[in-house]
Amino acid sequence: MTRADWSVGIVGLGALGLPMAVNLHRAGFRLQVHTRSRRAETDPLLAGACRCDSPAAAADNVDVLVLCVSDDSAMKDVLFGPDGAANALRPGSVVIDCSTISPKGAQQAASQLQQIGVKYLDAPVTGGTEGARAGTLTVLVGGDAAVLEVMRPLLAVIGDSIHHIGPVGRGQQAKAVNQVLVAGSYAAVAEAIALGQRLELPMQQLIEALRTGAAGSWALNHRSGAMLNGSYPLGFKMSLHRKDLVIALEAAKSVQLNMPITALVEQLESELIQRGHGDDDVSALHRWSSATEKT
């Protein structure tokens, strides 16, 4: 079976979903695309893909439906709403959910889809918009290992690091762990840069020095420049990351684990969102320590 033989529906063309769709289109998969705003469907890089006016239309007669939506509510609406994909998915097809949702939400979706003969993988991704554009995302998969192996050629276009974590829901639990790490690293980089700026150190030189030492991290490599400039171009919305931290904190509560650092970052993000920064990149955590925010 060649890529041109696969019919793939994609719902959700946001900061991650659009470049993922573009890469699948370039790779030769036949695409049917839908996004809530409809604007991204007209992206020139998707020329030739079939634009669809609903999730059901995007799912009509496809082999695989890929989702990349914002939260549990959006996932449920896309799959099971009045114009939801479940109304059109054929038995034997597969839903690959690249959204970051709750483990329980993933399990419920899998159970409902199983009733109509549709298989489900929860496959949240990490690696930012840079990874989505380059096709180098890390994919954390929960679900049947045999289904994953069949889907691997498609997932290999989206990411270059694909990991089977366990049954449905485990992918989302792994993503929660990832987001805890992201929270701590972004907050630490933000504070460290603020300290260096207040000390009037040569920050570009210092960051270059720190990249290769014990303090090196993805956040330092990819987001320190934005923090230095006080400009936060979108990589991953703070509002979405805060949603992910709530999922992680709920998971921790379920196993009687206290995570004070994650809880603090969630509070900081909540307050920044209230100030109107919810659509900024997570690196806008630097606003808390920057001189402009303190004056």
Catalytic residue numbers read 175
Region for 185 from its dihedrals, namely left if φ exceeds 0, alpha if ψ lies in -120 to 50, beta otherwise = alpha
Contact (CB, 8 A) for 32 and 58 = yes
Q: How far apart are CA 113 and CA 117, in angstroms?
A: 6
Contact (CB, 8 A) for 26 and 18 = no
Q: H-helix or E-strand containing 10?
A: strand 7-11
Q: How far apart are CA 184 and CA 175, in angstroms?
A: 14
Each as own residue / partner, the long-range contacts of residues 234-237 (CB below 8 Å, 24 or more positions apart, any chain) are 234/15, 234/129, 234/279, 234/280, 234/281, 235/15, 235/128, 235/129, 235/130, 235/281, 235/282, 235/283, 236/15, 236/128, 236/129, 236/281, 236/282, 237/15, 237/278, 237/279, 237/280, 237/281, 237/282
Dihedral sign, Cα of residue 55, residue 56, residue 61, residue 67 = positive
Bridging pattern class, strands 64-67 and 159-166: unpaired
Q: Residue 147: what residue type? A: V
The span from the first CA to the last CA of the chain, in angstroms, equals 62
